[in-house]
Amino acid sequence: MSSTGTDDRFDQDLDRWLEAVPAGQGQRVVVGLSGGVDSSVSAWMLKQAGWDVIGLFMKNWEDDDDGEYCSTRQDLIDAASAADCAGVPLEAVNFSAQYKDRVFAEFLREYEAGRTPNPDILCNAEIKFRAFLDHALMLGAERIATGHYARVRQAKGANVWQLLRGLDAAKDQSYFLHRLNQAQLSRTLFPVGHLPKPVVREIARRIGLPNAAKKDSTGICFIGERPFREFLARYLAHRPGPIREPGGRLIGEHVGLSFYTLGQRKGIGVGGSRGGNGDAWYVARKDMARNTLWVVQGHDHPWLLSESLHASDVHWIAGAPPEEIHEESQDQTSDQTNHLSAKTRYRQDDAPCRLTAVAPAESTFESTVGSTLGSTLGSSFGSTFGSSITLDFRQPQWAVTPGQSAVLYRGEVCLGGGVIHSFVSSERSIAGAT
């Protein structure tokens, strides 16, 4: 096919892709411009769809913003260039105080307690879809938009907004958005959620965006590319202790339980030659009471496999769990799209599961994540925070990690989720470990 024919086909596809973006009819939308290609294309698409677009660059971190690891300065330059190319004004706003108070402080508390939090989930609920939304409303916006790979729709015959997976399964970010509420979703647009990432980059190239080939950001936003343990060591105390294998044998010394996560393989400090079968060592337990790190050999060791988990601080996007959810989760003969599935970490396939809704959790099961979010976001979250759920899996799940989120889906719809509190291992008799 000639290049002209290819261009004509792309133009036809572009028209179709733009039709999927709600028509703006002159209404104002504020787009979170991060300096990346996804948010930049989102701003351009909304402009083409007739929205009055304003770009907003959010600065969420100020400590050691020296450019070596933190890319904020370059990101602002890229955002300004993209805004200029798309023909939209750009405003920069500093949310670093709110971020440090609502997100980073909780991040440190969770690590100190021996859990492994996901600050990007809390950042979305507290900053990108709360502080940002509040600021956008002050600017007269009807909607906000971001470059997330997810979709929003209003359920048929109901005044309920649903969060859907992004159509690009490799880029779907609904996992990170599962704590959004109805008020937030009703005002949110995800212009690239129905597009594959290669198409987004091609649109950027065709319209001349200067960041069309910019590398995707990776890692936790305030840590950037810096060594993770080095960063944590600046804020958390070191408390060395023993490393033991399942039989109780001492095989090394850890630098502090906060610096390890379940399933970790690299940087443990023990080699495959230290006894056993020569397989790689993995972190399997963190015994906070005894300050002991338990490790096992082999990726599929029973200590790393869990048949069920308990999650607290549960949030349902619709405001409450669907009434039929318990029956559906146990009906193995219904259509596959009605079955429940869950992710216990972002980079994993969905796992079929059964759900048991539990009464509001006891105080010992409640983490400060839920109490913080419940108080700051108010009644729009209903009474979902503080409750707990149990998930039972058909197949054991690998390295289920307290502090991470268990997120539930029914087909393409993200229902919500909770913070993993504990799990039931396939191997229940663990000498001295909790």
Q: What is the pLDDT of residues 416-430, one digit of tens each?
A: 999 999 999 876 544
Domain with residue 320: its CATH number is: 2.40.30.10
- Residue 229, exposed/middle/buried by CB under 10 A (0-12, 13-18, 19+)? middle
Name the token pair of 102.
Answer: 């609502």
46, 187: one domain: yes
- The pLDDT, as a whole number, for residue 359 is 52
139, 246: one domain: no
30, 149: one domain: yes
Q: How many CB atoms lie within 10 A of CB 240?
A: 12
Give the residue from 256, 277, 297 where a domain finishes: 297
- The pLDDT, as a whole number, for residue 5 is 63
- The pLDDT, as a whole number, for residue 218 is 67
- The pLDDT, as a whole number, for residue 401 is 97
Which residues span the domain enclosing 402? 305-425
Give the residue from 207, 223, 256 where a domain finishes: 207
Distance, in Å, from the CA atom of 222 to the CA atom of 120, rounded to the nearest integer, reads 10
Domain with residue 55: its CATH number is: 3.40.50.620
184, 259: one domain: no
Domain count along the chain: 3
318, 259: one domain: no
- Name the catalytic one among 85, 123, 353, 414: 123
Domain with residue 251: its CATH number is: 2.30.30.280
194, 123: one domain: yes
Q: How many CA atoms lie within 13 A of 56 on its CB side?
A: 28
66, 116: one domain: yes
143, 245: one domain: no
287, 309: one domain: no
- Name the catalytic one among 70, 85, 221, 353: 221
Active site residue 221: yes
The dihedral through the CA atoms of 22, 28, 32, 34 has a sign that is: positive
Active site residue 123: yes
Residues of the chain predicted below pLDDT 70: 1-6, 64-70, 218-226, 272-276, 322-338, 357-386, 427-434
Residue 430 resides in a domain: no
